[in-house]
Amino acid sequence: MSSNRPKFKRVLLKLSGEALAGQSKTGIEPAILSQIASEIAEVRAAGVQIAVVVGAGNIFRGSLGEKLGINRVKGDFMGMLGTIINSMALEDALEKINVSASVMTSVEMKDFAEHFTIRDAIRKLENNQVVIAAGGTGHPFFTTDTASALRAIEIGADCMLKATRVDGVFTADPEKDSTAVKIDEIEYIRIIKENLRILDFTCVSLCMENSLPIIVFDLFNKGSLVKAVMGEKIGTMIS
């Protein structure tokens, strides 16, 4: 780790559900979960307050529900439950390495987790706890990208970190187009105008309106999360 001071005091990390599944695409891969927990612990040890939002693509997506004939609203609620499962798994992985963590849900689930409030979330962050915000926004029709932007703004994060399978924003999908070129820095509005679907557009708009920078980076490049909070040049900066 760099000996320099962290660039950010408080960040929100967005993880996709698929990230937890590794190569299997579904379920949770214990080795991946442990790796992510270790990197979060390293960020916290650097003096950075960190909140996390995890998606549910490894369990269930609302859009998949529609293909199965499930009502969109019910499908989205099912996806929210998936994020809570993933969040509880991450909480457990952090606690196993003696990192204090707390799942806070957007909907009341008092037997499983605390209800998310801005005041309590900030208090936990200030007490060096990792806050895992689960359940999306608590409303259908919104993605966990948008939930991440909302929670990041609510807690006063200095940056939103979007962990993906590729190292930043490209001119096309690099997994499908070999001519795709990586963009090191890009403005919010260009993401929307050029239809670069690395993030949900509602998420991008929220961040743009609140001047919240986003760093998109490769989660599986070991040490990349720490490098991001230390201000090293990785991935793509959206601002």
**Residue 81 within a domain:** yes
**Residue 34 within a domain:** yes
Closest residue by Cα to residue 216 from 139, 163, 159, 154: 163
**Residue 215 within a domain:** yes
Give percent of the chain with pLDDT exceeding 70.
Answer: 99
**Residue 1 within a domain:** no
Give the model's pLDDT for residue 3: 53
Give the model's pLDDT for residue 220: 86
Domain range for 127 is 10-238
Is the pLDDT confidence value at 64 over 80? no
Question: In Å, what is the CA distance from 184 to each residue of 76, 100, 117, 169, 187?
Answer: 33, 34, 35, 8, 11
Give the model's pLDDT for residue 203: 97
**Residue 56 within a domain:** yes
Helices (H), the chain: 17-21, 30-45, 62-67, 72-96, 118-126, 144-154, 188-193, 201-209, 224-230
**133 bridge partner residues:** 104
**Residue 4 within a domain:** no
Q: What is the CATH number of the domain that holds 74?
A: 3.40.1160.10
Give the model's pLDDT for residue 173: 83
- Choice between 2 and 85, residue whose per-residue pLDDT is larger: 85
**pLDDT tens, position by position, 143-185:** 999 999 999 999 999 999 999 888 899 988 888 888 999 999 9
**pLDDT tens, position by position, 39-60:** 999 999 999 999 999 999 999 9
Residue 14 burial class via C-beta count within 10 angstroms: exposed 0-12, middle 13-18, buried 19 and up: buried
Residue 2 — very low, low, confident or very high, per pLDDT cuts 50/70/90? very low
Looking at the structure of the chain, the number of domains it has is 1
**Residue 103 within a domain:** yes
**Residue 170 within a domain:** yes
**13 bridge partner residues:** 52, 161
> What is the pLDDT averaged over residues 95-116?
96
Is the pLDDT confidence value at 1 over 70? no
**pLDDT tens, position by position, 125-134:** 999 999 999 9
